[in-house]
Amino acid sequence: MSCSIKICGITTIEDASMVSEAGADYLGVLVNVPRSPRSLTVEKARAIFSLSKIPVILLTFDLTSDQMIELVRALSPFAIQLAGSETEEEVRKLRKNLSCEIWKSLHIPAAEVEKEKVYDIVDKISDFTESGIDRVILDSAVIKGTKIQKGGTGQTFDWSLAKAINAQVENFFFLAGGITPDNVKDAIVQVKPDGIDLSSGVEKSIGKKDPQLVKSLIATVKNVEVSL
C-alpha cells in the first residue's frame, strides 16, 4: 500500500524546502486563521506557494465562500482544505468557482468528549462528496474551556472509529490528530489511511519543523509501506 504524507503548519520557505526534500507529498499552509499561531498572512504565504516543489494545500477555517475564493485566486494552491464548520452549500459554491481540489476536515471528539457515531461521520462524508469535495481528513477535537478546539490538538482520537469509517467510504482518506514518528506505524497498520496529516508531531517549537523528526516520520512511513 501507499500512504501519502502531508506536513501541515508550514510557516517558512526554509521548512517548506526541508520537508519537500525529505520526501513529503504535500505541504499545508494556514492562511488568515486567527486562532492558530501557525497562521500566515497572504503576503507571507505567497512565497511558499510559488516556490514549493511539491503541492501546497491552503488551509482555511470558517471563512466565507467569497473569502476562500479570493484566497485561492491569490495563492493558486493545489487544494483548499476547509477545517472549520463549513457547509455543503458553501462547498457547492466553491466547486462552481474553483478549479483546484477541495478537501474537508471532519473532527472526531477525543476521549474526554462523547464520541460521535460512525454512521454520522459516514453520512457527512457522503453529503460533502456529493457537494464537491475531493478528499477528507479525519482529525481530533478536544474541549478547551468552554469551546471545542477542532484540529491542531496534538491528540489522537479513537482509531477504531477511523478504521470503521475508512471501510465505508471511497474518498481519499487522510488520518490526522496527534500523529508522531512514534505512533505513525500503528496508525497506518490499524487504520490503513490513504494519507497521514500532521503538524505538531514533527515540530521543535510551534511553527518550526524539526528536520530529524520529519526524516524519522517519513522513513517510518516508507518502511511500513514496504512491510504491508
**Closest alpha carbon to 57 in 162, 198, 178:** 198
Angle at 163 between CA 102 and CA 79, to 5 degrees: 10
**Is 173 within 8 Å of 135 (Cβ atoms)?**
yes
Residue 112 pLDDT: 47
Determine the structural domain holding residue 57 and report its residue range.
4-227
Each residue's pLDDT tens digit, 25-37: 999 999 999 989 9
- Residue 220 predicted with pLDDT over 80: yes
- Cell numbers representing residue 211 in the block: 528536520
Structural domains counted in the chain: 1
For the chain, the residue count is: 228
**Residue-averaged pLDDT of the chain:** 91
Residue 141 pLDDT: 65
Residue 147 pLDDT: 62
Q: Distance between CA atoms of 171 and 121, rounded to whole angstroms?
A: 13
- Residue 87 maps to which CATH number? 3.20.20.70
- Cell numbers representing residue 200 in the block: 505538531
Residue 205 pLDDT: 96
* pTM assigned to the model: 0.92
Q: Distance between CA atoms of 91 and 198, rounded to whole angstroms?
A: 24
Residue 113 pLDDT: 43
Long-range contacts of 34-41 (CB under 8 A, 24+ apart): 35/61, 36/9, 36/61, 36/152, 37/206, 37/207, 38/9, 38/11, 38/152, 38/199, 38/206, 38/207, 40/11
Neighbours of 13 (CB within 10 A): 14
* Amino acid at the residue 146: T
* Amino acid at the residue 106: L
Each residue's pLDDT tens digit, 50-88: 999 999 999 999 999 999 999 999 999 999 999 999 999
Each residue's pLDDT tens digit, 136-188: 999 876 656 556 655 555 678 889 889 999 999 998 999 999 999 999 999 99
Beta-carbon contacts of residue 64 (< 8 Å; ≥ 6 apart): 90
